[in-house]
Amino acid sequence: MGTKGTTGEMVALSEQNQLVERVAASAGFARAPAIRKLLLYLWEHRADEVSEYAIALDVLNKREDFDPKVDASVRVHLSRLRQKLREYAETDGSDLPMRLVVPAGTQRLQIEEAPRPQLPPSPLATKVRRFWAPVLAACLAVVCGVLWVQYVGVRQELDRARGNLQLPEIWQTILKPGRLTRVIYPVPIFYQWDSLRVRDVRVSRAEDLASSPNLQPLVERLGKPKISQSYTVGTDALAAVQLTRFLSSHATPMEVSPTSSISPDQFGNEHLVFLGIPPTHARLSAYLDKLSFQLIDGSGSVRDRKPGRGERSEYIPAAGDSNHPYVERYGVLAVLPGHSPGTSLMLIISTQTSAIGTLLTAPHGLEELTRHWKAAGEPEHFEAIVHTVMDGATTRNATISAFRAIH
């Protein structure tokens, strides 16, 4: 039978619990319920070896066939938790002697001492400074000139640092301030018969099985299948990480969610960024019908439904070559008005979403996109055909093949 701790140990634990409760109740975590739930879960299990699998089931409500090797959602949430803990320590918790951290590469919540403030000068230093005050006053005129030059240089560096925190101009047009931005990655639906697992990319809801002419012969032959939603497509997970890092580094309030957890009210209250190929989500069909550029059956080709004079009606990638390691595809990037005023809906429609993520976040990609955007008159809403080339998971190229304003 265990023994009770000492009074000092109980006081220390009480203070630690108060710290965790204070952090969890802060405004930053109140706006991110999934991250707050993860924080409290890790604290409750701080003495245990918590796995990604346990977090997926207990916190993110994943299915029992969750595989962390192919689904990066747990790592994405842990990255967001580390970011929010740093933000709290630098703002609301800057006066606290302790802070919460989740060391990189772990799933363990820890408490550590906050960096100590600089100590005041010693009495001896004060006496020396008073003694040499007349000498310092005499040298001040010379030093001021040097300090002024240094001040100008530091001020320029600070201005550049502030500029780095601001979103690029095109992103500021897309994401109006005052709204949360939510990046949504798809969790595909698979139908499983024992070891056979099949997906029809045109089916986005489990109950739509009967609408698939490709799956019905399997149903007739093998019977009713099980539903499996155990992983996220690798390129979509990578794109979600790219956008999360980029927007977080520019101080943009944001969250990351799977398609299965999106509620109807979020279609009116938040900026939404959808990743994947149609049908990523059943609610997107009305928005996809507004686009002139549309992906052809997830093939990597794009059709222009309203080509102008001299414009192409289809964009078809070059045929693959067994001796060529690169994979060429076309995709669609679209920015549409959201359900409510002041909100935006961004669609990243491609079989290579991470390549379009590079276009949206890397300096050379943003230069390419901004150039076409300015040439079109800086429209608030637009659509573009993006040509992507990948070598495995590495983006080799992402360029704009066509750009059109949406009025």
400 versus 34: which is more confidently predicted? 400
User: 12-71, pLDDT tens digit by residue?
Assistant: 778 888 888 899 889 888 888 889 999 999 999 988 888 999 999 999 988 888 888 878
301 shares its domain with 214: no
259 shares its domain with 348: yes
Q: Is 289 among the domain residues?
A: yes
Number of domains in the chain: 4
Long-range own/partner contacts, residues 292-295 (CB < 8 A, 24 or more apart): 292/383, 292/404, 293/332, 293/334, 293/383, 293/384, 293/385, 293/402, 293/404, 294/332, 295/330, 295/331, 295/332, 295/349, 295/350
223 shares its domain with 332: no
Cα four-point dihedral sign 16, 17, 19, 20:
positive
Mean pLDDT of the chain: 82
261 shares its domain with 394: yes
Predicted local confidence at residue 248, as pLDDT: 92
For residue 392, the enclosing domain spans 174-185+232-405
357 shares its domain with 332: yes
Beta strands in 239-393 (DSSP E): 254-258, 271-276, 293-295, 302-304, 314-315, 327-337, 344-349, 382-391
Q: Is 2 among the domain residues?
A: no
Cβ–Cβ < 8 Å for 294, 305: yes
35 shares its domain with 21: yes
For the record, the structure tokens of 370 come out as 């901004």
Predicted local confidence at residue 115, as pLDDT: 78
User: 222-267, pLDDT tens digit by residue?
Assistant: 998 888 776 667 888 899 999 999 999 998 998 888 876 776 556 6
320 shares its domain with 291: yes
Q: Is 120 among the domain residues?
A: no
313 shares its domain with 273: yes
pLDDT > 90? residue 134: no
Phi–psi pair at 361, nearest 5 degrees: -125, -30
Q: What is the CATH number of the domain that holds 97?
A: 1.10.10
252 shares its domain with 386: yes
In terms of phi and psi (left: phi > 0; alpha: psi -120 to 50; beta: otherwise), the region of 310 is: left
181 shares its domain with 202: no
For the record, the structure tokens of 8 come out as 């000092």
- In the Cβ-directed half-sphere of 139, how many Cα atoms lie within 13 Å? 8
